[in-house]
Amino acid sequence: MLKRLSKATTSLILFVLPAFILYVIFLVIPVLQGSYYSFTNWDGLNKSYSFVGLQNFVEAIRDDANFRTALLFTAKYVLFAVVLQNALALLLALLIESQKRAKGFFRTVFFMPNMLSVIISTFMWVFVFTKVMPALSEYAALKFLGQSWLGDPNVSFWSIMLVSVWGGVGTLMIIYMSAIQGIPQHLKEAAIIDGAKPYHMLRYITLPLISHALTICIFLTLNSSFKVYDLIFALTGGGPARATQVITMNILEEAYQRNYRYGYASAKAIILFLIILVITLVQVSVMKKREVEA
């Protein structure tokens, strides 16, 4: 069969094949296996198990209060992460691109957090919240800095959000800057000659012409926010009292740390997958339609 193909097609297949094999082994097969086990009561250890149909899904949605709490917290985290990260990244991109000098310096400074691993950066922030803030509160007489940044349920969410935005805005900023640089200069000059204000420039020229970047950035933040684990695990471990437990932590706890209900945890993972799939499909289709209109 390879003899019948052109040399270019054969080379393409040979280059893509290793990556495709790895993709199937480490993603497609586990997804199919997880889907299969979600209809069973397998504990992940024994060979024997039985099919329970949709019982796992019904239990997760109707009877599992911890799962619903984790789902609600995840939705709250996703909403604020997507809005704050994209808004701040777009604002930084606009401000840096408006400067005539030191663009490279500011771009490097704001992108530097993305060069650190999530675990290292979150451990650094744990030190800041638990050691630096209380010290500043004591020496600077600023009492609000001495509160429990990670132990108070009312404050821990905003501490998590601060770290999330700090670590996630750099990549989005670069994408927005690239899109802004791609706007034709003659359109900006024509708008300025016509007396367009900065607000009108942003609304009628910049935002419509970078709508493809908005689609990409919102898609990336949606997916990463729904699947967040390491950041929150390193900061709070899901505490206090499950107040900051996201759905990924709840799934892992169900499968390996508490009840060893692998089939039940697989059902929760399938629910998360379906939620992400529906939301991202709606988001991409709506924003792609707006791109065409723009």
pLDDT digit string (tens) for 34-75?
999 999 999 888 888 899 999 999 999 999 999 999 999 999
Q: List pLDDT tens digits, range 222-245.
A: 999 999 999 999 999 998 888 999
282 residue type, one letter: V
Confidence of residue 292 (pLDDT cuts 50, 70, 90): low
Q: 22 and 30 in contact (C-beta within 8 Å)? A: no
pLDDT confidence tier of residue 137, bands split at 50, 70 and 90: confident
Average pLDDT, the chain: 89
- Is pLDDT above 60 for 190? yes
Superfamily of domain 66-258+267-293: MetI-like (1.10.3720.10)
Percent of the chain residues past pLDDT 70, beyond the cut: 97
